Amino acid sequence: MSRKWRDNMLVQLVRLFLIDEVHTVKDESRGATLEVVVSRMKTIQVLLAHTTNSVDVQLPMRFVAVSATIPNADDIAEWLSDGQCQAICMKMDESHRPVKLRKVVLGYPSGSNQTEYKFDLTLNYKVASVIQTYSDQKPTLVFCATRKGVQHAASILAKDAKFIMSIEHKQRLQRSANAIKDGKLRDLMLYGVGYHHAGIDVSDRRNIEATFTEGDLPVLFTTSTLAMGVNLPAHLVIIKSTMHYASGVFQEYSETDILQMIGRAGRPQFDSTATAVIMTRLSTKEKYMQMLDGADTIESSLHRHLVEHLNAEITLHTITDVNIALEWIRSTFLYVRTLKNPSHYGFQRGLGKEGIEAKLQELCLKNLNDLSSVGLIEMDEDVNFKPTETGKLIATYYIAFDTAKLFYNIHGKETLSELVTIISTCKEFSDVQLRTSEKKLLNTMNKDKNRITIRFPMEGKIKSREMKVNCLIQAQLGCIPVQDFSLTQDMAKIFRHGIRVTKYLLEFLALQEKKFTAFLNALTLAKCFRCKLWENSTHVSKQLEKIGVTLANAMVNEGLTSFKKIEDTNPRELELIVNRNPPFGNQIKESVLHLPTYELGIEQLTRYTLSVAEIVVTVLLTNYEKLQKKRTAPDCHHVTLIIGDTDNNIVFKQKIMDNALLKSGTWTRKIDIKRAFTSDELSVHLISSDYVGLDIQEKFRPLYLGDQKFGPNVDAESKSENLYFVKLEKSDTVFFIFC
């Protein structure tokens, strides 16, 4: 919204901008976005003040930023300030807490060779005594490093601890447990223990949260990442181990993460005191005791993502040269922190303000050269620059620079399988983790003699994030059932990003005329991502309203693998197949009958030369009269006509809207076809934007002057004895000598 502020009155009318949890500005993935949005909103109010005389528009925009875990709040205030108005920084100490918090650090001995994993396991057997000592028989929240660790720790506590509960309490817990789908979780709840992480069913999570919030569940184990965004206050908070699993390795929680977790301690409506306990190694006990007296300074992460955000500002024409780029950086939190802690950003100390600004300018220039190297911007000798069409696409679809580089190296003849592999390596999926517990299921989907597997199996075992992403993409498109909830969540995330990434890939390749095969497959893949089906899928019925995978499977089993076959089936028979009552069958048929159906006509005109032929392509909407009253497809539905030759050139491409075809039912275009070097055959495709099962593809061989006697495609039978044949390739001038 902020990138498109000139066209968005809502953004221009904003007068109060609230930033909750402002410390997330340091977050590796989200922080840079927050920083540039806030900086852009500051810029917008300045620009609006200079471009209008309206009193209302000139009212200053107010910023309010809050955080419970930010020691350098003065830096945030400096960032939000401008030349006319300085931000007010208000700091609240512990005395303002509605519930007084006691902080305890417990250190446990560990062997020098003991791994983090084994140390974490030993802590599972210490949790019961910690709860007994500090909980006062009130709700306890235990943070664990991994999902598997959460479930394991909960199981051990259920065996070790006995919670005193009244008969009424047990009955309430029983009622809550009865609503839980996860059998293991349901059994644990009866012991007064629950667990909560992103891998369990959404309804189970909500049920667990409600039971814990009401005080009926004595202990809840959860992962640190999920509970950050869920309001689960407790009397006692335990951080079981100060190491967590991130980016494939065990690493220490940041000070901010620790403070966020212990901030869950204290229920204002029930408690006057609360306790937070950190369980760590004896060797790190002192470190965490000192940590609780202070906090980690918040730094910017913009420098790690500067290249994408520079491109966005260039696309907006906010930045047109290096000096303006530096001026833009001065409005960011990055600028505030580089002046105070230059070494964190790779700059040497003692440079002074001018020296640091020079380094920032160098950093800008490096990123600008990177953008130019893959054709996202154009630069002149004076380092003025402007966006290219590709650069605008990157900004429009919020594509990572690494993904742009990846697509820049596409040679143009990639198959559908190769494009899926390329998509799987995109930076947009970098937060998808490959968990050990998932490998068996993923390998079964990849290769298995006894069941349906993915369309393009990968060599070897699934051993990387990229292979997991590839497998899940193909499983979704192939309607292969995935029972694991965490995998289905990953799949949803992949397709949420994948729709955007494939749309960018499609439009990027559309700008290049000599990559027909890759463009055709990108067009197909983008549609597959939207439909969540392969382009040749037999599960076409899944695209109809009220038809899911289960009903689509039933229809496939009965041979209803195309819209035509569904249309030709009696409604009552359809109801028997999917086990539904009337008028369900009529509704299915109605949906199919009002889908657009097309015919593709290709005809050659008599005007042609040795190197150019003229053809007429006609697209008919065969049921356009029927569609005048009712349509199943959305108003934005269209087909793309694409013609390619054997030299991999895109000869012609055109988007044809259904709304245009509905006027007369016909679209016609004359097209000049330049003769290809390898063969005269054309590949003609008509591809629906939103539906699998409507596409048409044809082969057509146009006639060129000389084909009947002199062309390279002449049949042996037509050769005359007193005629010499010469195959001429890529020649401007041709002489034929008749003897």
Residue 427 belongs to a domain: yes
Residue 429 belongs to a domain: yes
Residue 640 belongs to a domain: yes
Residue 52 banded pLDDT, cuts 50, 70, 90: low
Residue 309 banded pLDDT, cuts 50, 70, 90: very high
Mark whether 250 and 357 lie in a shared domain: no
Mark whether 374 and 308 lie in a shared domain: yes
Q: Determine contact, residues 443/451, Cβ cutoff 8 Å.
A: no
Residue 738 belongs to a domain: no
Distance CA 714, CA 704 (A): 12
What is the pLDDT at residue 198?
A: 81
Strand-strand pairing, 598-608 and 249-252: unpaired
Residue 58 belongs to a domain: yes
Distance CA 498, CA 708 (A): 49
- Cα–Cα separations (whole angstroms), residue 610 to 360, 517, 631, 729, 737: 59, 25, 46, 11, 16
Mark whether 155 and 283 lie in a shared domain: yes
Distance CA 375, CA 390 (A): 7
Mark whether 419 and 500 lie in a shared domain: yes
Mark whether 493 and 423 lie in a shared domain: yes
Domain hosting residue 482, numbered range:
397-536
Segment among 161-175, 523-537, 556-570, 666-680 with least mean pLDDT: 161-175
CATH code at position 357 = 1.10.10.10
φ, ψ (nearest 5 deg) of residue 477: -65, -30
- Of 347, 376, 396, the last residue of a domain is 396
What is the pLDDT at residue 217?
A: 94
What is the pLDDT at residue 244?
A: 79
Q: Look up residue 90 and give its two tokens.
A: 């208000």
Q: What is the pLDDT of residues 391-421, one digit of tens each?
A: 999 999 999 999 999 999 999 999 999 999 9
Rounded to 5°, the CA angle 466-484-427 comes to 25
Mark whether 389 and 505 lie in a shared domain: no
* pLDDT greater than 60 at residue 729: no
Dmax (CA) for the chain in angstroms is: 113
Rounded to 5°, the CA angle 99-101-102 comes to 150
Rounded to 5°, the CA angle 46-51-53 comes to 105
Mark whether 583 and 459 lie in a shared domain: no
Segment among 5-9, 182-186, 410-414, 478-482 with least mean pLDDT: 5-9
Terminal Cα-to-Cα distance of the chain (whole angstroms): 74
The kind and range of the H/E element at 309 are helix 306-315
Mark whether 425 and 517 lie in a shared domain: yes
Sign of CA dihedral 345, 348, 352, 355: negative
Residue 91 belongs to a domain: no
CATH code at position 473 = 1.10.3380.10
Q: Determine contact, residues 250/81, Cβ cutoff 8 Å.
A: no
Segment among 91-105, 172-186, 330-344, 549-563 with least mean pLDDT: 91-105
Q: What CA dihedral angle connects 361, 365, 368 and 373, to 10 degrees?
A: -170
Q: Determine contact, residues 52/58, Cβ cutoff 8 Å.
A: yes
Residue 725 banded pLDDT, cuts 50, 70, 90: very low
**Rounded average pLDDT over 254-281:** 87
Concatenating the DSSP letter of every residue in 672-709 gives: EEEPPSS-S-EEEEEEESS-TT--EEEEE----TTTTT
Segment among 22-31, 52-61, 103-112 with least mean pLDDT: 52-61
- DSSP 8-state symbol, 601: E
Q: Determine contact, residues 370/307, Cβ cutoff 8 Å.
A: yes
Distance CA 738, CA 169 (A): 106
What is the pLDDT at residue 503?
A: 97
Query: Percentage of residues in the chain with pLDDT exceeding 90?
Result: 67
Segment among 75-79, 165-169, 275-279 with least mean pLDDT: 165-169
Strand-strand pairing, 243-246 and 100-108: unpaired
Q: Determine contact, residues 632/669, Cβ cutoff 8 Å.
A: no
The residue that leads in pLDDT, 545 or 116, is: 545
Residue 94 belongs to a domain: no
Mark whether 287 and 159 lie in a shared domain: yes
- Of 259, 291, 323, the last residue of a domain is 291
What total of structural domains would you count in the chain? 5
What is the pLDDT at residue 617?
A: 97
Query: By C-alpha distance, which of 536, 548, 103, 87 is closest to 295?
Result: 103
12, HSE (Cβ side, Cα atoms, 13 Å)? 15
Mark whether 229 and 259 lie in a shared domain: yes
Distance CA 540, CA 532 (A): 11
Mark whether 505 and 545 lie in a shared domain: no
What is the pLDDT at residue 23?
A: 87
pTM across the whole model:
0.81
**Range 107-112, long-range pairs (CB < 8 A, 24+ positions):** 107/280, 107/281, 107/282, 107/283, 107/284, 107/285, 108/279, 108/280, 108/281, 108/282, 109/281, 109/282, 110/281, 110/282, 110/283
List, in sequence order, every beta strand (DSSP E) within 433-543. none
Residue 728 belongs to a domain: no
What is the pLDDT at residue 734?
A: 58
What is the pLDDT at residue 705?
A: 86
Mark whether 585 and 653 lie in a shared domain: no
* pLDDT greater than 70 at residue 716: no
CATH code at position 123 = 3.40.50.300
230, HSE (Cβ side, Cα atoms, 13 Å)? 22
What is the pLDDT at residue 711?
A: 39
Query: Percentage of residues in the chain with pLDDT exceeding 70?
Result: 93
- Of 246, 274, 291, the last residue of a domain is 291
**Rounded average pLDDT over 316-322:** 87
Distance CA 275, CA 144 (A): 17
CATH code at position 627 = 2.60.40.150
Rounded to 5°, the CA angle 426-430-435 comes to 125
